[in-house]
A and B are shown apart, each in its own frame.
Chain A
Amino acid sequence: MHPRSSTLLASLALAAAAWSLSPGIAVSQTAPAAVAHPIPQSLRLEHEDTAERLGRLAKRPGEVGVEARKALELFRRHAAREEEYIMPPLTLLPLLADGKVTPDMEWAVAMSDRVRADREVIFQEHTQVTDVLNRLVVAAIRAHDKDATDFAQAAATDSLNDLEVLEPTVLLIGDYLRAKLPAAH
């Protein structure tokens, strides 16, 4: 699992800068239509890496394997939610930072609204993730499994990063688009 803090903090700063410059930003009508809503490639790679590492830990014998399997199940559920509607709006950050807002970005407003509505549910999912990662760390320490310990610590840090940076950024994107997109809002 790779630290993503610096990337997202930079993105947040860009979004904030775009917000502060908003009076001068024209709404463009020429950007290509978004037909699908992927997530940023860096986050896709992180998800793949996490799933791969957890999958390996899940095959270990004993408690490390037991807890890793529980963590993998939770991770898959949480990653599916992130990929469905939490992370896709983040793909817009480079455009927003360049001052470009187009009507076809409206899909991100709906996703951002859904994140806001589900915030407590998402938080509770994070508590479950932290809980299982704590159990994985305890099992890993008992088994002298440094790989598993390091993974769990990094994953817990990423979980906090989601709450501190990623999800607020998505909400900020939604608010920004709502303010900049014409009439419908």
Chain B
Amino acid sequence: MSGPLSRAAVVFSLLTAMPGIAHAGDPAAGKSVFQSTCSICHSVQPGQNKIGPTLFGVVGRKTGSVPGYTYSPPNTAANLTWDAATLDKYLEAPRAMIPGTKMTYGGQKDAAKRADLIAYLATLK
């Protein structure tokens, strides 16, 4: 899945599956959020793990599942699938959702920015 229409379809389906999230995420705005808050630790290139695992293909994959990345035990054990709802909850307060995660990110409290970020992550296919 690589064309713009496919990506748009993914973003649309994610947003419609996000109860309680009123803001329609803007991938372009989300890319900006990503760069200013996530990029020091995460690559968006496939197979390129940095301080955190690559976020290429993050939507739809299981927690703790990127090959070649050493996760914290709680993240490995979380047994969640990263979809719009789980990402929204995690990005708001990572340690509240997965206590003991080593992701040094305090969380994005702005729901609109989270929706933008998730919309951007959904394009990383």
Which A positions have Cβ atoms within 8 angstroms of B?
123-124, 126-131, 133-135, 137-138, 152-153, 156-157, 159-160, 163-164
Whether B36 and A160, one on each chain, are in contact in the complex, defined by CB atoms closer than 8 angstroms, is no
Q: Does B125 contact A (CB under 8 A)?
A: no
Whether B105 and A127, one on each chain, are in contact in the complex, defined by CB atoms closer than 8 angstroms, is yes
Whether A138 and B35, one on each chain, are in contact in the complex, defined by CB atoms closer than 8 angstroms, is yes
Whether B41 and A135, one on each chain, are in contact in the complex, defined by CB atoms closer than 8 angstroms, is no
Instruction: Tally chain B residues at the interface, Cβ within 8 Å.
Output: 14
0 or 1 for each of B15-44: is its CB under 8 Å from A? (1 = yes):
000000000000000000001111111000
Question: Which of B35, B36, B40, B95 is A130 in contact with, Cβ under 8 Å?
Answer: B40
Q: Does B2 contact A (CB under 8 A)?
A: no
Report the separation of the CA atoms of residues A161 and B34 in the bound assembly, to the nearest whole angstrom.
23
Question: Which of A129, A135, A152, A159 is B36 in contact with, Cβ under 8 Å?
Answer: A135
Which residues on B sit within 8 Å (CB–CB) of A157?
51
Report the separation of the CA atoms of residues A160 and B40 in the bound assembly, to the nearest whole angstrom.
12
How many Å from the CB of A126 to the closest CB on chain B? 4
Whether A131 and B95, one on each chain, are in contact in the complex, defined by CB atoms closer than 8 angstroms, is no
Whether A131 and B102, one on each chain, are in contact in the complex, defined by CB atoms closer than 8 angstroms, is no
Whether B102 and A164, one on each chain, are in contact in the complex, defined by CB atoms closer than 8 angstroms, is yes
Whether B102 and A124, one on each chain, are in contact in the complex, defined by CB atoms closer than 8 angstroms, is no
Report the separation of the CA atoms of residues A157 and B41 in the bound assembly, to the nearest whole angstrom.
8
Whether B40 and A156, one on each chain, are in contact in the complex, defined by CB atoms closer than 8 angstroms, is yes
Whether B39 and A138, one on each chain, are in contact in the complex, defined by CB atoms closer than 8 angstroms, is yes
Whether A130 and B39, one on each chain, are in contact in the complex, defined by CB atoms closer than 8 angstroms, is no
How many Å from the CB of B66 to the closest CB on chain A? 16
How many Å from the CB of B38 to the closest CB on chain A? 7
Q: Does B106 contact A (CB under 8 A)?
A: yes
Which residues on A sit within 8 Å (CB–CB) of B35?
138
Whether B104 and A134, one on each chain, are in contact in the complex, defined by CB atoms closer than 8 angstroms, is no
Whether A152 and B40, one on each chain, are in contact in the complex, defined by CB atoms closer than 8 angstroms, is yes
Task: Determine which residue in B37, B40, B51, B95 has the highest number of CB atoms from chain A within 10 A of its CB, and name it.
Answer: B40
Whether A123 and B40, one on each chain, are in contact in the complex, defined by CB atoms closer than 8 angstroms, is no
Which residues on B sit within 8 Å (CB–CB) of A133?
40
Nearest A residue to B106, CB-CB: A127
How many Å from the CB of A93 to the closest CB on chain B? 22
Nearest B residue to A134, CB-CB: B40
How many Å from the CB of A147 to the closest CB on chain B? 16
Whether B102 and A159, one on each chain, are in contact in the complex, defined by CB atoms closer than 8 angstroms, is no
